Amino acid sequence: MNATLERWSTRRAFILAVTGAAVGLGNIWRFPYITGENGGAAFLVLYVAFVLLLGLPIMMAEILIGRAGRRSPVESLGHLAALAGASRHWRFLGLFGAFTVFCILSFYSVVSGWSIEFFVTAINGGFVGRDPAEIGAGFEAFLADPWRMVFNHTLFLFMTMTVVAAGVAKGLERLNNLLMPLLYLLLMLLAGYAATTDGFGTALAWLFRPDLAAITPMVVMHAMGHAFFTLAVGACALMAYGAYMPERQSLPHAAGAVALLDVGVALLAGIAIFSVVFSQGMDPGEGPGLMFVTLPIAFAELPWGALWLSTFFLLLLLATWTSSINLAEPMVATLQGRGLGRGRSATLVGVLVWLMGLLSALSFSTLSGWRPLFGMNAFDLVTTIPTEIFLPVGGLLIAVFSAWVMPRHEAQAALGVGESGFFLWRTVVRWVSIPLAALVLAAGLL
């Protein structure tokens, strides 16, 4: 009886940790604005296809490597490569992942900082009685204020690195699990309210009736990057969690459950946000400010709006907190593997990410004229290149390693399925995921 209970709770703990990593800004902030910039339904169809054909199979690949290696990502890759008689250079894939999460965390912290500011504003009733134009102008003024941007970035990163240094992420995940249903409920409430607005029908048609002519190689590339980003796949961050996965747990079931939840959160957020967009005659391609402008407008019209809105930003903050802990973990684990203490590793990572994050925080004010590449400023670059190039490249290599390099019986045991299940997974990874990711990367880059 006890043993059963114990196993149940650890299985659950694993799903919680992965859900915590997956559900975050990607669902509620990034999904709506990227969908808005890329034509709506056409993008959505591609994104869901990539979640099924790439994200999910490669998520399993990534976790199974960690589970089979039972070490940090760098060491697991080196160990399994040695077992297979392959090059030890596969270890560098772990370092590449650490570099990818370094870039991602630098802007993730800045945008999560926006939620802190919005939470405080909402709790003080700052959005009550404001009309949409005022709310939009307020957001612009906030972005243009270097001090508030840096302050919130600093605060959020400090919150993240403190939890990482203390090693209490598990406690936070449990809290997250408790509150996740509440986030779901709030988004459902919001989507329900959206159904009563004028923009609802337009929003549904725009989200679910694809215009195939809107599909270009760049839209395909954006959709692939977003599938990796939202599932937290491609940076060896989930590989680190795989090392702690309990013996008897089906990896495909766990991964499938997380993906379903993740897409569900994104869809609810999308329905709510685009209903506001079309009710207010706003531009869906408004960019990274989309969620931060539309949701205060929507909540402002509900009874008890300030209460709902502050609750919403609090829950969002919690979701981004667990994601950023997962983003920091591979870097801290790598430094720790080199003999540095946990506290020092976390401090060093925190300082480096903070410095890098300044580029994003200031790119709406002090550094707005600095456009080092393709006419994009620092924020645009760091929100695009690591997500749309580094994650897919990392994911592709993870897939190759798991399906072509790793010894077969190791891979099958770590996937936790029978003969035919393994054959199905490996066939999909070998002949669908790998060629598809390579093709899209090639088409996007060339």
| One residue of 16, 17, 18, 21 binding ligand PFF per CB under 6 A | 21
Assign 3-class secondary structure to 94-149: HHHHHHHHHHHHHHHHHHHHHHHHHHHHHHCCCCCCCCHHHHHHHHHHHHCCHHHH
| One residue of 26, 40, 288, 350 binding Na ion per CB under 5 A | 26
Residue 237 interacting entry, from ligand PFF, Na ion, none, C-beta within 5 to 8 Å by type: ligand PFF
Residue 350 interacting entry, from Na ion, ligand PFF, none, C-beta within 5 to 8 Å by type: none
Q: Which stretch binds Na ion (CB under 5 A): 10-18, 41-49, 223-231, 269-277?
A: 223-231
Looking only at residues 228 through 257 of this chain, which bind ligand PFF when binding is defined by CB under 6 A? 229-230, 232, 235, 237
The token pair that represents 65 in the structure block? 């490597």
Interface mask toward ligand PFF for 96-115; x: CB under 6 A: -----x--x-----------
Interface mask toward ligand PFF for 277-316; x: CB under 6 A: ----------------------------------------
Residue 22 engages ligand PFF in binding (rule: CB under 6 A): yes
| One residue of 17, 18, 21, 22 binding Na ion per CB under 5 A | 22
- 342 C-beta neighbours (distance < 10 Å), count: 15
Rank residues 69 and 199 by Cβ distance to ligand PFF and give the closer one.
69
- Transcribe 171-191 into DSSP letters: HHHHHHHHHHHHHHHHHHHHH
Rank residues 224 and 282 by Cβ distance to ligand PFF and give the closer one.
224
Residue 60 interacting entry, from Na ion, ligand PFF, none, C-beta within 5 to 8 Å by type: none
Side chain identity at 48, as an amino acid letter? Answer: V
Query: Does the CA dihedral 22-161-377-120 come out positive or negative?
Result: positive
Rank residues 40 and 97 by Cβ distance to ligand PFF and give the closer one.
97
Cα end-to-end span (Å), the chain = 58
Q: Which residues of 28-52 are buried (b: 16+ CB within 10 A; e: fewer)?
A: bbbbbbbbbbbbbbbbbebbbbbbb
Q: Which stretch binds ligand PFF (CB under 6 A): 7-15, 172-180, 225-233, 392-400?
A: 225-233
Residue 21 interacting entry, from ligand PFF, Na ion, none, C-beta within 5 to 8 Å by type: ligand PFF
Looking only at residues 227 through 256 of this chain, which bind Na ion when binding is defined by CB under 5 A? 230
Q: Which stretch binds Na ion (CB under 5 A): 21-29, 82-90, 158-166, 301-309?
A: 21-29
| One residue of 76, 176, 322, 326 binding ligand PFF per CB under 6 A | 326
Interface mask toward ligand PFF for 26-45; x: CB under 6 A: xx------------------
Q: How far is the CB of 260 from Na ion (least distance, A)?
A: 12
Give Cβ neighbours of residue 444 (< 8 Å, ≥ 6 apart).
217, 218, 220, 221, 388
Instruction: Answer whether 87's CB lies under 8 Å from 81's CB.
Output: yes
The token pair that represents 355 in the structure block? 């410095």
Residue 24 engages ligand PFF in binding (rule: CB under 6 A): yes
Residue 152 engages Na ion in binding (rule: CB under 5 A): no
Instruction: Answer whether 390's CB lies under 8 Å from 93's CB.
Output: no
| One residue of 19, 27, 176, 433 binding Na ion per CB under 5 A | 27
Q: How far is the CB of 19 from ligand PFF (least distance, A)?
A: 10
How far is it, in rounded angstroms, from Cα 144 to Cα 362?
8
Q: How far is the CB of 239 from ligand PFF (least distance, A)?
A: 10
Residue 101 interacting entry, from ligand PFF, Na ion, none, C-beta within 5 to 8 Å by type: ligand PFF
The token pair that represents 309 in the structure block? 């809105």
How far is it, in rounded angstroms, from Cα 111 to Cα 357?
10
Q: How far is the CB of 375 from ligand PFF (least distance, A)?
A: 26
How far is it, in rounded angstroms, from Cα 63 to Cα 241?
7
Q: How far is the CB of 124 from ligand PFF (least distance, A)?
A: 27
The token pair that represents 270 in the structure block? 């999308």
Rank residues 26 and 392 by Cβ distance to Na ion and give the closer one.
26
Write 7-14 long-range contacts (CB < 8 A, 24+). 7/246, 7/248, 10/246, 11/246, 11/249, 11/254, 13/170, 13/173, 14/241, 14/244, 14/245, 14/246, 14/249, 14/254
Phi-psi region of 174 (alpha: psi -120 to 50; beta: other; left: phi over 0): alpha
Instruction: Answer whether 334's CB lies under 8 Å from 95's CB.
Output: yes
Which residues are near Na ion by CB under 5 A?
Answer: 22, 26-27, 230, 262
Which residues are near ligand PFF by CB under 6 A?
Answer: 21-22, 24-27, 101, 104, 229-230, 232, 235, 237, 323, 326-327
